[in-house]
Amino acid sequence: MASREAKHTISVLVENEFGVLTRVAGLFSGRGFNIESLSVAPTLDDSLSRMTIVTSGDERILEQITKQLNKLIDTIKVIDFTDTEYVEREMALIKVQATEDTRAEVLRIVDIFRGNVVDVTARSYTMEITGAPGKIEAVIDLLKPIGIQEIVRSGPVVLGRGAKGLHG
């Protein structure tokens, strides 16, 4: 009966109200579900917020996650993007040490990955990189040997491909 654990990206449209985020996060923690990342912000309709949650689990756990999310009174819609076409973007801000020897290399990497340098000091560069999580992983791998001081990642946000929106 055990099935394979897989990573899932889920969008949840919720009422933009006080306490909804803790309700969703509490649902995951209270039932022992895993949250890998969670990003949330209001939508075009400012009475609604859209959450993007990356989680993992087997088929049974995923079914429970989507059902339990749907059961919350504040939840309007839940979409699991697994097996569908979607675009996915995450942003990372990365602060690297920049010495005489490495400055040019850092800039080259930023350029190759179409990132932007957003802050410069005599000893550091801070850059923004946007893309699928895999691309951000790749940048981090390349920058690690040079010396990363600090990283912050937003967690992915996704939209389904095609003309149709969440409301159909």
Name the residue with tokens 């087997």.
58
CB of 109 to other proteins, least distance (A): 44
Q: Using CB under 8 A, pick the residue from 38, 76, 151, 159 that binds other proteins.
A: 76
Helix (H) or strand (E) holding 139: helix 133-143
Half-sphere exposure of 7 (CA within 13 A, CB side): 6
- Of 3, 6, 7, 19, the residue at the interface with other proteins (CB under 8 A) is 19
* Residue from 67, 108, 123, 161 in contact with other proteins (CB under 8 A): 67
Is residue 16 a contact residue for other proteins (CB under 8 A)?
no
For residue 41, the one-letter residue type is A
CA atoms of 137 and 148, how far apart (whole Å)? 13
With CB under 8 A as the contact rule, the residue among 3, 7, 26, 111 that binds other proteins is: 26
Task: Report the site for other proteins in 88-147 (rule: CB under 8 A).
Answer: none
- 100 φ, ψ to 5°? -50, -45
Member of 34, 39, 68, 97 binding other proteins (CB under 8 A): 68
Q: How far apart are CA 12 and CA 40, in angstroms?
A: 9
Does 58 participate in binding other proteins (rule CB under 8 A)? no
Which of 72, 1, 59 has its CA nearest to residue 30?
Answer: 72
Say how far apart CA 153 and CA 21 lie, in whole Å.
19
In a 3-state reduction of DSSP, which class is residue 162?
Answer: coil
For other proteins, which is the closer residue by CB, 76 or 91?
Answer: 76
For the bound state, the minimum distance from the C-beta of residue 86 to other proteins, rounded and expressed in Å, comes to 23
When binding is defined by CB under 8 A, the residue of 74, 81, 115, 129 that contacts other proteins is 74
Residues near other proteins (CB under 8 A) are 1, 14-15, 18-19, 22-23, 26-27, 30, 60, 63-64, 67-68, 70-76
